[in-house]
Chain A
């Protein structure tokens, strides 16, 4: 069954409450009912087909959080195209790799991103979203051959494993279905409840937690364009928010800016994931907001792998493994720390056009997460990454990719990339007599033009 079939089933039996409330930067809001969402998906589907998009066309899309993101993503899956939800922070280094690996047939983009993707759009269908409308910017004369991808695959979602380039995980429909189901078992949402979505929907965690869980459970999603805590504190009572899904750093931001006068009585749960939540912060946030704080863990290849359950959450853990997941803590040391391996028929089983990397990650049906964990009383603890990636405020950083980017700077002959105490740093060998204080700034500016901004090292030091 396609995930879109389940979504449509849910939309057909929706009540009177909205499917979406979009909160716009000018403080206005737009309500979308389930019926209107169905219409938008249909309109998107018709437009995309008319523009030439077919089954098994690979479509990279650069869209911010909006009902259009949802309708276009679902429409693409319904057509049988293979969408690639693109991280809007990506720049040349990431885009070069993704476009050359995936060879998309089409690109859909917010208008401001058009200059960024100009180098990649030759002989591709290009659709622009501007002021809430889609227009066909570029068509192709000759029909392109579709990709040979199984119908079971819903989308291609790019992630990292420390190779220095992104890998396109082939995410099946069943992954989205199962991911939403297990998250629902932990969260126990009710139809008509209101979820505040602040995370970018192109990541797997919000895609499942903020897009599919609300749609499949007939919850109203409130899409905020900002994480400004003052605005979020206004939204909570105004829209009677029951659940927020965010990374720990956003909950920490709410904590730092909290005001005793805010009415938070509607809040029930904070769903958390994407980076580390310490025990201390867990207790502080839980106490300050009087909510259940449900922290979990997952990867692009399968999410969630584990998650805390309402009424049974434990501080400092990433929860029990989700039902239906076989797991091993491989080669555990004396402390019980070992690599987390998982097995489930619904997980991604390959990376698009990356046989070597696929074989290294998936062996005998098991997926090697590249993360070290340990079990205690049926709850999983995240220890650290084994693979050469790190998480910074929910964003994944491939340390090898950062090194490659730095080495593109003139006269840098070597670089050592490190990540400690949530800070990305680089030691560089550079052939120059220039003033290094100015040079460090130039290096950072250079990097910010070619790589996602969060991958630019905060600290750069010259080494001998």
Chain B
């Protein structure tokens, strides 16, 4: 099992924090993917891993993400956009 993700992202911006979370759960170096990277087909992130990512971001930003909104998200960039929108509407 992973040790708990260190929630101290330091001075990272939102984009980098999300990529770090995706990278940690997908176990793929965050430097090899970008905003066009497909979450399922290229990062191999399945539904349970998606839930873990959602939970960690929710906890860090104290927001609630509707899982149904994430189902149709294809790439990293779209995922970041949704999170940005939720945070800005908070």
Contacts and interface: CB of A to CB of B under 8 A. Distances in A.
Contact of A441 (B2, B42, B48, B52): B42
A250 B13 CA distance: 30
Given A230-B59, A253-B52, A393-B48, A258 B4 contact: yes
Contacts of A441: 38, 41-42
B9 to A, nearest CB: 16
A252 B5 CA distance: 13
Contacts of B82: none
B16 interface: no
Number of chain B interface residues as a range: 20 to 34
B56 A257 contact: yes
Nearest to A444: B41
B11 to A, nearest CB: 24
B32 interface: no
Interface residues of A, number: 27
- Judged by DSSP, the binding face of A is helix
Nearest to B25: A256
B67 interface: yes
Contacts of B47: 453
Interface in B47-71: 47-48, 51-52, 54-56, 58-59, 66-68
Contact of A228 (B46, B54, B68): B54
Contact of B55 (A230, A281, A284): A230
B1 interface: yes
A458 interface: yes
A255 interface: yes
B40 A444 contact: yes
A454 interface: yes
A290 interface: no
Given A227-B48, A393-B46, A454-B46, A257 B55 contact: yes
A94 interface: no
A453 B44 CA distance: 11
A115 interface: no
Shortest 9 CB-CB contacts between residues of A and residues of B: A458-B44, A444-B41, A441-B41, A252-B1, A230-B55, A257-B55, A229-B55, A256-B2, A228-B55
Interface of A: 25, 226-230, 249-250, 252-253, 255-259, 281, 284, 393, 440-441, 444-445, 448, 453-454, 458-459
Given A229-B51, A252-B1, A441-B41, 20 more contacts: A25-B66, A25-B67, A25-B68, A226-B67, A227-B51, A228-B55, A228-B67, A229-B55, A230-B55, A249-B48, A253-B51, A253-B52, A253-B55, A256-B1, A256-B4, A257-B55, A259-B59, A281-B1, A458-B44, A459-B44
24 contacts: A25-B67, A25-B68, A227-B48, A227-B51, A228-B51, A228-B67, A230-B55, A249-B48, A250-B48, A253-B51, A253-B55, A256-B1, A256-B2, A256-B4, A257-B4, A257-B52, A257-B55, A257-B56, A257-B59, A444-B41, A448-B40, A453-B40, A453-B47, A459-B44
